[in-house]
Structure 1
Amino acid sequence: MNSYVCAICDHHTQNPGPNELGSCRGNTIRFRDQMFHLWKCPKCHSIHNVDPVDFADIYHDYPLNKRKLDIYARGTLKNLLKRLKNAGLSGKSASILDYGCGNGVFLQFLKENGYHNIVGYDPFVEEYKQLPNKLLFDCVVANDVIEHVPDPRATIKECASLVKPGGLLYLGTADSEPVNMNDLEPHIMRLHQPFHRIIITQESLRQLAKETGMELINAYRRSYMDTLMPFSNYRFLDEFNRELGHTLDSALDPKSASIVPRKPMLLFYGLFGYFFPSAYEPAVILRKPAI
């Protein structure tokens, strides 16, 4: 008999209810024909992928590590940088670590905007696989990271340990709360299997943030990808992925944009999708107490 243990609230059971279990297909070409088994904790509503995984294997050809710093990425990353500035990010000499940086798109964006003291870390990207030793940063960004790891609490603790006294920590993640385990198809982009290991709620994110002992500066419900810039909003991306069969590789192919003019609803959501959000991505910004 399987035992289900929540890594967030430690709830455990051997007899999950019928509304706690579900299966979801992958959303990349490699995994689109595989089904992945999910369990939603009835106590804290975190969603766990319960299948074992070889992280080095699934990330060796990760489609998102091929993304480009195009006009749409710039629009969403501008929103992310604005959040950091509003929280008190110091001048362009501030030291910034992008923890879980993928192929470094945010680092490229920061460099374009005059930030030069920047470092990336991603254990599955050769260029960034070494975490800097004995360095503390004015700002650590862990955006779309903690849902990819087997222990979000441990990752948040490590990120907090890399922040200078008085510095900032940004944590952004997917949101599990609205997901109906009996109807997972509408949430394929958010579930992002098999890469998302544990998806939590906004309340759980706040609780994990509180455990760091850092001060909460700002909290967000909306995704940083939700902007008023045409075609730079989560709803459009969701609908665009759906039209492409929720295959992320296709969505990242510039040639796929040719379907947009032929789909009136895609045009509509490209222009107005900000006002019709299909999912949320909670985030918090924390400040470490000064010595």
Structure 2
Amino acid sequence: MTNPTPERSCWCGYQTLFPYSDDYRVCKACGTLVSRAPVANTADQASHETGLYSHDYWHRRQREHHGLPDIEARARLDLPERCTYWLQHLLQAKLPPARVLELGCAHGGYLSLLGWAGFSSIGTEMSPQVVEFARKTFCVDVRLGTVEAQGFKTESFDVIVLNDVLEHLEEPLSTIQHCASLLKPDGLFVVQTPEYKEHLTYTDLSAAQDLFLRHMVNNNEEHLYLFSRRSVGELFRRLGFASVAFGNPVYSYDMFFTASRTPLRQNSPEAIWNSLSKRPEGRLIQALLDKAYESNDRWWAIQRFQKDRP
């Protein structure tokens, strides 16, 4: 007779969870959706040909399950969109030279942009094939396995990036606590993750055909914790990162924020240009940023127009 698989508890430690949907329960203490999927015994092991975060995940599963381009296409498509947008926000908070660690760096395109901008960057991934793909495609430094397994020195990074990673962590408090030890005293977390809006019920989401549902339906084996603004604030403040500033996300169903132990500063466009213009590659980065600003302004203008329509 096998032992029953234990239910996943909330990262915050609160034991009482309430039904939310077939795939999730909700922690009302902190405002997190908690997956009903069985607790994995191998979440910290690197994946190979099949399984989550494997070669298969980045090819067949992206196309057939998520309806997204595979890693080959994403390596091209993400550069002028997501990667440039992320870099734009990072430069507003931290200028090169600085040392950046990206957890779950996928194809490595963002690491490449960071390098061209003058940052020193390292990434991690869980599949040997994906690590090799990133190294060959963008000539970037990518390590295999979890961040805890890498042996990085304490206080050795200026920035740690988690883009579409936080929701996948089996033990987010433990992993973020470890990452916090790797940051210098004035270091930053820069995070993108799906945003659970606490005021919306599952019925509300379904009635509106909300795009957030794509993170929930048939996805709870990947998305283990779906955070609200309240819960990510609690997570990072619990670890000493009292300054949490939210920015506009790339997509409306996400949230994008920066967390710091000290008050956050905002670098001016002039300061960013002065930093980037010192390198030929930096001038290329500035050209990409200029186009990104133009596209972002147009997109948010459309959003405001649609919101104000009668």
TM-score by length of 2: 0.60
Q: Is the 8 A contact 1:5 1:12 kept in 2?
A: no
Which residue does the alignment assign to 2:126?
123
2:151 & 2:5 partners in 1: Cα distance?
40
Q: Is the 8 A contact 1:69 1:109 kept in 2?
A: no
How much does 1:166 deviate? 2.3
Which residue does the alignment assign to 2:52?
58
1:149 & 1:211 partners in 2: Cα distance?
17
Which moved further from structure 2: 114-123 or 59-68? 59-68
Q: Is the 8 A contact 1:206 1:284 kept in 2?
A: no
Which residue does the alignment assign to 2:33?
47
Query: Structure 1 residues 79 and 287 mapped into 2: Cα distance closer, same or farther (>3 Å)?
Result: farther
Q: Is the 8 A contact 2:78 2:109 kept in 1?
A: no
Does residue 208 of structure 1 match 2:235? yes
2:261 & 2:152 partners in 1: Cα distance?
20
Which residue does the alignment assign to 1:181?
202
1:177 & 1:201 partners in 2: Cα distance?
6
Does residue 285 of structure 1 match 2:259? yes
Query: Structure 1 residues 3 and 116 mapped into 2: Cα distance closer, same or farther (>3 Å)?
Result: closer
Which residue does the alignment assign to 2:177?
157
Amino acid at match of 1:171: V
Q: 1:172 pairs with 167, 192, 195, which one?
A: 192
Query: Structure 1 residues 207 and 116 mapped into 2: Cα distance closer, same or farther (>3 Å)?
Result: closer
How much does 1:46 deviate? 1.1
1:45 & 1:215 partners in 2: Cα distance?
18
Unpaired runs of at least 5, structure 2: 63-69, 132-142, 264-310
SS at match of 2:191: strand
1:287 & 1:81 partners in 2: Cα distance?
21
How much does 1:138 deviate? 1.7
Q: Is the 8 A contact 1:3 1:13 kept in 2?
A: no
Amino acid at match of 1:220: F
Alignment of 1:104-143 (within 5 A): 104-111=108-115, 113-115=116-118, 117-126=120-129, 127=131, 128-130=143-145, 131=147, 132-135=150-153, 136-143=156-163
Identical amino acids, percent of aligned pairs: 22
2:113 & 2:128 partners in 1: Cα distance?
18
Which residue does the alignment assign to 2:95?
90
How much does 1:163 deviate? 0.9
Q: Where is the helix percentage greater, Structure 1 or Structure 2?
A: 2
1:149 & 1:6 partners in 2: Cα distance?
13
Q: Is the 8 A contact 1:5 1:13 kept in 2?
A: no
Q: 1:102 pairs with 98, 103, 106, which one?
A: 106
How much does 1:159 deviate? 1.4
How much does 1:62 deviate? 1.8
Q: Is the 8 A contact 1:74 1:109 kept in 2?
A: no
Q: Is the 8 A contact 2:8 2:36 kept in 1?
A: no
Higher relative contact order (CA 8 A, sep 6+): 1
Query: Structure 1 residues 76 and 190 mapped into 2: Cα distance closer, same or farther (>3 Å)?
Result: same
TM-score by length of 1: 0.63
Q: 1:9 pairs with 12, 30, 54, which one?
A: 12
1:2 & 1:43 partners in 2: Cα distance?
24
1:77 & 1:285 partners in 2: Cα distance?
19
Amino acid at match of 1:172: Q
Query: Structure 1 residues 283 and 125 mapped into 2: Cα distance closer, same or farther (>3 Å)?
Result: farther
SS at match of 1:101: coil
Which moved further from structure 2: 280-289 or 130-139? 280-289
Query: Structure 1 residues 144 and 125 mapped into 2: Cα distance closer, same or farther (>3 Å)?
Result: farther
Unpaired runs of at least 5, structure 1: 24-36, 226-233, 235-276
SS at match of 2:202: coil
**For residues 229-266 of structure 1, what are the alpha-carbon distances to aligned partners after superposition, in whole Å with 9 as ceiling and x for unaligned?**
xxxxx2xxxxxxxxxxxxxxxxxxxxxxxxxxxxxxxx
1:144 & 1:286 partners in 2: Cα distance?
19
